[in-house]
């Protein structure tokens, strides 16, 4: 049951952030932030691909600290689409960290 909540948060939180903070362009912002969920493609490199007890943070290549710090830096770029992508990636990592108990 908890995994359904986790997946729902990966959809609802970026949409809510886009709507509250980028109201004039919230649909574009939301789509780009939702596209950040594609970062989970790095789970395909793991064996097994899905393990409900595994923490993604610091396990999968795109969920390590160096990429996460780059996602954080992207949030301050002047070009809106890259900024929105950075926000979406950072939200994704925060939600994954919550799932890990970090």
Give 39-52 pLDDT, tens digit per residue: 999 999 999 998 88
Tens digit of each residue's pLDDT (9 = 90 or more) over 67-91: 999 999 999 999 999 999 999 999 9
Q: Which domain holds residue 17?
A: 2-100
C-alpha–C-alpha distance, residues 15 and 19, integer Å: 6
Please report where in the chains the tokens 């789509």 appear, as a residue.
31
Radius of gyration (C-alpha) of the chain in whole angstroms: 14
Is the pLDDT reported for residue 1 higher than 50? no
Statement: the pTM of the whole predicted model exceeds 0.85 = yes
> pLDDT over 90 for what percent of the chain?
86
> What's the total number of domains in the chain?
1
CA distance 97 to 88: 14
Q: What is the pLDDT of residue 102?
A: 65
Residues 6 or more apart whose CB falls under 8 angstroms from that of 70 comprise none
């Amino acid at each position: 049951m908890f995994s359904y909540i986790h997946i729902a948060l990966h959809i609802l939180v970026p949409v809510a952030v886009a709507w509250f903070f980028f109201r004039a362009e919230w649909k574009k912002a939301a789509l780009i932030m939702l596209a950040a969920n594609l970062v989970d493609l790095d789970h395909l490199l793991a064996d097994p691909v899905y393990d409900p007890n595994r923490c993604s943070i610091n396990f999968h290549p795109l969920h390590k600290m160096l990429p996460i710090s780059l996602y954080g830096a992207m949030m301050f770029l002047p070009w809106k689409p890259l900024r929105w992508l950075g926000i979406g990636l950072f939200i994704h990592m925060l939600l994954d960290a919550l799932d890990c108990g970090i």
